[in-house]
Amino acid sequence: MVAMSLWHRISGKIVATWNLDNYIEFFSKSHLLKALLNSIEISLSVTLISVLLAYPLAWIIANRVPKKWQRLALIMAILPFWTSYVVRSYAWLLVLAKNGIVNTFLQNIGLIDLPLAIASTRYATITGFVHFFVMLLTLTIYANLRQLSPNYARAAADLGASGFRTFWHVILPLSLPGIMVGAFLTFVLSIGDYITPKILGGSNELVLPQVIMLQIGRRADFPSAAAMSMILMAVVTVAYIACAKWLKMERS
């Protein structure tokens, strides 16, 4: 892949001309940089929203659901995993379309007169991603919460800490490794995804995986696509190094 990114497609043929022109071209074109920025912004938004939704769900399952029912609760939480990824994306497209469930409901109760343009937008892409990754984060956070000894909370209570202070100063810091691992997986999987942005986001706001597929499908420009893939991989590598460094600092 690295070697291919340094070559060129000339007159329909891939020529091994070793230079950095593909990378220079990428960083000199605003629409390509915009696609990369879109990918990062969407992935960060999905990660943040998924964490905020998954943590309460994982905490409820771990601490409020009776132990004998926790396995059933987890199975219910991951049920959408049993459906095809493509099918889930098209299902959300039907829900968010102009004549879909959301717009029909809002019009029936009189909140809107004209249907909202939700499908084929960034918000639709984020919605589809969050639906999927909340389940993944719930599993990683739940696993971390189950490993925490109840003696931590008891010790904090003995020292006079309220329930909120116990959670904020004891439970949350101890569960951060599970959050970070799940957040990293969410970021990596969402930034490299092509299907959901293609189905739900359409072509109004391209992300980098879509641009890569366009280079391959329409232009057969494999060197340019390889360079973009390496740039995307570099972003993922930076995220991994930051996450690994943080986890190492927490353990030390």
Which residues have a Cβ under 8 Å from the Cβ of 187 and sit 6 or more positions away?
Answer: 43, 44, 46, 47, 236, 239
How much is the pLDDT for 218? 86
Average pLDDT for 200-222: 89
The span from the CA of 33 to the CA of 27, in Å, is 6
In 3D, which of 198, 208, 72, 53 has the Cα closest to residue 124? Answer: 198
The pLDDT tens digits for 17-46 are 889 999 999 999 999 999 999 999 999 999
pLDDT at 47 over 80: yes
For residue 173, the one-letter residue type is P
CA 85, 91, 96, 101 dihedral sign is negative
Average pLDDT for 90-99: 88
pTM, rounded to two decimals: 0.89
The span from the CA of 240 to the CA of 36, in Å, is 17
The span from the CA of 209 to the CA of 129, in Å, is 15
- The pLDDT confidence band at residue 81, using thresholds 50, 70 and 90, is confident
On average, the pLDDT of the chain sits at 89
Tell me, rounded to whole angstroms, the distance of Cα 238 from its chain centroid: 16
Q: What is the CATH number of domain 22-251?
A: 1.10.3720.10
pLDDT at 250 over 70: no
